Amino acid sequence: LARNAGEPEFHQAVHEVFDSLGRVFTKHPEYGEASILERICEPERQLIFRVPWTDDNGRVQIDRGFRVQFNSALGPYKGGLRFHPTVTLGTVKFLGFEQIFKNALTGLPIGGGKGGSDFDPKGKSDAEIMRFCQSFMTEAHRHIGEHTDVPAGDIGVGRREIGYLFGQYKRLTNRYESGVLTGKGITWGGSLVRTEATGYGAVFFASHLLETRGRSFDGARVAVSGSGNVAIYAIEKAQQLGATVVSASDSTGAIFDPEGIDLDLLKDLKEVRRERIEAYVAERGGNAEFRAGASAFALAAERGGVDVALPCATQNELGEADALALVKAGIVAVAEGANMPTTPEGIRVFKDANVLFGPGKAANAGGVATSALEMQQNASRDSWSFEYTEERLAAIMRDIHDVSAATAEEYGAPGDYVVGANIAGFTRVADAMLALGVI
């Protein structure tokens, strides 16, 4: 830990995986002999670079860019870019570390990586976003490629940013290398379902959790946090399956809508107009309410029963107090759409209350899995239908659920999806690392 000082989120992610692995090393001493654990915690390569750009007032701004190429035992590094003022090397390392095991769980040939910048996209003009993305790519293009490292979106990086990044990559390399980035637009190499994939996938995963208790989304009351890409499409799929989704949030606060979130309105506010979530209440009317600074879970739990919680905003957003409130509200299952949104104390509360808990590296793997499907389509110069791609996504999420459940059982922790997902992901990577030698 001393060599990774000042990186608490990275420590948290490593601890959570290590806690699951004791039993693996008893069964597989060869992993210990080859120092797999020590190697897997050390990124293969870490890049930190200056990103200079000029704002609309002609002033030069400097942000910091990151790309952590964590592990390529299973395939090219793969993982998103996050643009948010809180991003540090430690944030990127925690996300990259999670990504190794998540990508392994998908069963697809992708390694783990992550990147981003402390650039704050909020309040920036389109032209500023474009100049920033072009500058970011001017350095990043030397280090990425369809066989090397394939970035995608994450917080603050969606279709618009991927477009500017891809345009600059194409210009610098003079190659239309579609497979270098995923999350592209449909007319320029993107895949249908990629936009929806993480949110849909989290709901598919939660459905499988619910099935183990003879329950379903039909008629369920669902609390969602966030109102970005993952949250919006988690709400969409949960509603399609018959649920009433009563909450959403952003960094300013949470909304509660007892009649169920009006998704067209939310999409318009967030995807088109890029407004704050408070605007929902004035336009929706009825009994919808906004509470500044509140957590979506605390608000939903206070207002009535909650069957399923889908945290889809950011890390450590669901702590012990929210978890206790959800348990009191009758929660049956939690599936993490975001990365590490539940604190260790929150996970403990759910575990003690026998709540079904799907950790992010399993429950939100649908996004990266569909990115890998986008790469397959790019490699074969093909494009698949929405229905076919969604079927592939649904099958992958079922497999991830089943392998996590079976692995938990095999290693003596039935029903513990944290243990199951960590071990199943880890052993796939560890076996490949053993086969590839000490590199």
Which residue is catalytic, options 114, 124, 184, 270? 114
338/400 with CB nearer ligand NDP: 338
CB of 367 vs ligand NDP, minimal distance in Å: 3
Phi then psi for residue 143, to 5 deg, are: -115, -5
121/411 with CB nearer ligand NDP: 121
CB of 170 vs ligand NDP, minimal distance in Å: 22
351 in a labelled binding site: no
CB distance 405 to 417 below 8 Å: yes
Which residue reads 């229905």 in tokens?
387
24/365 with CB nearer ligand NDP: 365
Query: Which CA distances in Å does 90 have to 86, 95, 123, 251, 358?
Result: 10, 9, 25, 21, 24
CB of 30 vs ligand NDP, minimal distance in Å: 32
36/311 with CB nearer ligand NDP: 311
CB of 251 vs ligand NDP, minimal distance in Å: 3
CB of 333 vs ligand NDP, minimal distance in Å: 18
229 in a labelled binding site: yes
Contact residues toward ligand NDP (CB under 6 A) are 153-156, 198, 226-231, 250-252, 312-314, 337-339, 364, 367
3-state secondary structure the chain: CHHHCCCHHHHHHHHHHHHHHHHHHHHCHHHHHCCHHHHHCCCCEEEEEEEEEECCCCCEEEEEEEEEEEECCCCCEEEEEEECCCCCHHHHHHHHHHHHHHHHHCCCCCCEEEEEECCCCCCCCHHHHHHHHHHHHHHHCCCCECCCEEEECECCECHHHHHHHHHHHHHHHCCCCHHHCCCCCHHHCCCCCHHHHHHHHHHHHHHHHHHCCCCCCCCCEEEEECCCHHHHHHHHHHHHCCCEEEEEEECCEEEECCCCCCHHHHHHHHHHCCCCCCHHHHHHCCCCEEEECCCHHHHHHHHCCCCEEEECCCCCCECHHHHHHHHHCCCCEEECCCCCCECHHHHHHHHHCCCEEECHHHHCCHHHHHHHHHHHHHHCCCCCCHHHHHHHHHHHHHHHHHHHHHHHHHCCCCCCHHHHHHHHHHHHHHHHHHHHCCC
Q: Which of 105, 75, 334, 88 is nearest to 205 (CA)?
A: 334
| Nearest residue relative to ligand NDP (C-beta) | 228
CB of 382 vs ligand NDP, minimal distance in Å: 22
421/433 with CB nearer ligand NDP: 421
99 in a labelled binding site: yes
230/332 with CB nearer ligand NDP: 230
Q: Which of 276, 271, 229, 81 is nearest to 164 (CA)?
A: 81
36/335 with CB nearer ligand NDP: 335
153 in a labelled binding site: yes
371 in a labelled binding site: yes
Residues 6+ apart with CB under 8 A from 350: 323, 327, 331, 334, 342, 357
Catalytic residue status for 184: no
CB of 255 vs ligand NDP, minimal distance in Å: 11
Q: Which residues are annotated as a binding site for NAD(+)?
A: 198, 229
Q: Which residues are annotated as a binding site for substrate?
A: 78, 99, 102, 153, 371
Q: Which residues are annotated as a binding site?
A: 78, 99, 102, 153, 198, 229, 371
Residues designated as active site: 114
